[in-house]
Structure 1
Amino acid sequence: MSASAEEREGPLTRVTNFVYRLIVIEVAFVLATLPALLGILLLDQEPSNIPLYGLFALFFGPAITAGVYAWRGDHDLIPWLRYWKGWVESLRQTLAVWTPVVAFATLASFNAAFAQVPAALLLGGAVLAGAVVLAGVATLVVIATFDFRTRDLFRVVMYGLASAPLSALGVLSLFLVVGAIVVLWSDWVAVLLASVMLWLLTRTVGPMLAQVRQDLVVSRE
């Protein structure tokens, strides 16, 4: 191995490339979700605005898919181009999956805010909505990694999560971390850590993706 090759593969270079990718993907994520971020900033935090928050949440689906796609290539030197390539190529399929997920979560949140129902029913609805969002995020990861028909995605994700339950637990843990950041600090702190969270998401679902790759699929390149 040549000295230049060793230098390229040295720890300092790897750290520098990681930080570079972290910053670039963060900037791309913010730009992809900027209309939603501005809308959330301008909206009053009132239950009556829940449908508008749901509308803004649609922007985050394609941004998450593209972020996972950008992080998936560890040695990619142009994460900016990779991010937007993933955003464009997966937009239609991502929205086909993410729109009903957001609609269900929005409806559950609206009912929790205004419906006069027992607390146990509200808790059950919140748990169900959380499970739907978790499955939705797992589906976005699958879209970012493999080429499946949209009608097959549900079965693939359920197979993957059942085969690697620790991945589901890991995604749930990330949800809790993001929720804690929003509650204890600010939603803007969560946005500024989006690239880190996307990297952690990519790592967390590794076992699920490995199982799906082994048993079912053709990887996206």
Structure 2
Amino acid sequence: MSGARQLSREFGTGPLSRAAALVHTLLVVELLLLATTLPALLPLALLDRDASNLPLVAVCLVPVGPALSAALYALRHQRLDLTDLRPSAVFWRGYRANLAGVLRIWVPALLWLTVIAVSLAHRAAAGVPPWWTALLVLVAAGVLLGTANALVIVTLFHFRTRDVLRLAAHFLARAPGVAVGTAVLLLAAAGVTAVGSDAVLALLGSVLALALLRIAEPMIISIRKEFTA
């Protein structure tokens, strides 16, 4: 009996089983990501690539924030025991728990990026000088990187929204490796969209979420050590 119990404990915890558990979790999370974002992303695919549609693009992207947060939560809390996998339940738990907090960060970020994108799209007609264009690009980059940090923080920790934003901005300077890694990830995502399509990027959502978690690990460790009891 003791041998059977030992075999039961070992099954599902070996390297191959852990790899299989990760693949299973990624697939389930990907399906849930698609389920929670597809109704809003389908209209996005029908919009013309015109600057006048930028506000509609922002509206279509609103559901992406909570869904990505839920994916981060599910992947962070994944069980690597093949006999005890519940990625779907963990995804929905994270979605419900973090919905309000994520929207308080995600929606203002989309508004800022939309204003910047519209300004850049009409820079010639408005006579915007080159230095102002460069400044807007830098601000947009900062908003993107700060939002990525904030999304990870609000998903994994319980802070007030203003504290989440402060920590996100703080770690842009304190953890430049995280910022550079996130920038590379965003550029890769943009490249996938340019070479392939929005659909290809959507199909890689869970992989991108896992990559963001891995990149943000130094920030996560620092916050847990220094800002939580």
Does 3-12 or 34-43 show the bigger shift?
3-12
Aligned to 2:29: 25
| Rg comparison, structure with higher value | 2
SS at match of 2:11: helix
TM-score in terms of structure 1 length: 0.93
Q: 2:118 aligned with 1:110, yes or no?
A: yes
Q: Match for 1:70 among 53, 70, 74?
A: 74
Q: 2:220 aligned with 1:212, yes or no?
A: no
Aligned to 2:130: 119
Q: 2:61 aligned with 1:51, yes or no?
A: no
Q: Match for 1:38 among 27, 42, 59?
A: 42
Q: Structure 1 vs Structure 2: percent identity of aligned residues?
A: 34
The answer to whether the 8 Å contact 1:160/1:209 transfers is no
Aligned to 1:160: 171
Aligned residues: 218
The answer to whether the 8 Å contact 1:163/1:211 transfers is no
Does 177-186 or 68-77 show the bigger shift?
68-77
Distance in structure 1 (CA, Å) of the matches to 2:206 and 2:197: 16
Aligned to 1:185: 196
Ranges in structure 1 where 5+ consecutive residues have no aligned partner: none
Aligned to 1:135: 146
Ranges in structure 2 where 5+ consecutive residues have no aligned partner: none
Q: Match for 1:95 among 97, 103, 116?
A: 103
Distance in structure 2 (CA, Å) of the matches to 1:30 and 1:74: 19
Cα deviation, residue 50, structure 1: 0.7
SS at match of 1:2: helix
The answer to whether the 8 Å contact 1:160/1:212 transfers is no
The answer to whether the 8 Å contact 1:164/1:211 transfers is no
Counterpart code for 1:209: I
Counterpart code for 1:150: T
The answer to whether the 8 Å contact 2:72/2:210 transfers is yes
Cα deviation, residue 5, structure 1: 2.2
Cα deviation, residue 162, structure 1: 3.2
Cα deviation, residue 127, structure 1: 2.0
Distance in structure 2 (CA, Å) of the matches to 1:58 and 1:113: 21
Q: 2:91 aligned with 1:83, yes or no?
A: yes
Cα deviation, residue 120, structure 1: 3.2
Counterpart code for 2:155: A
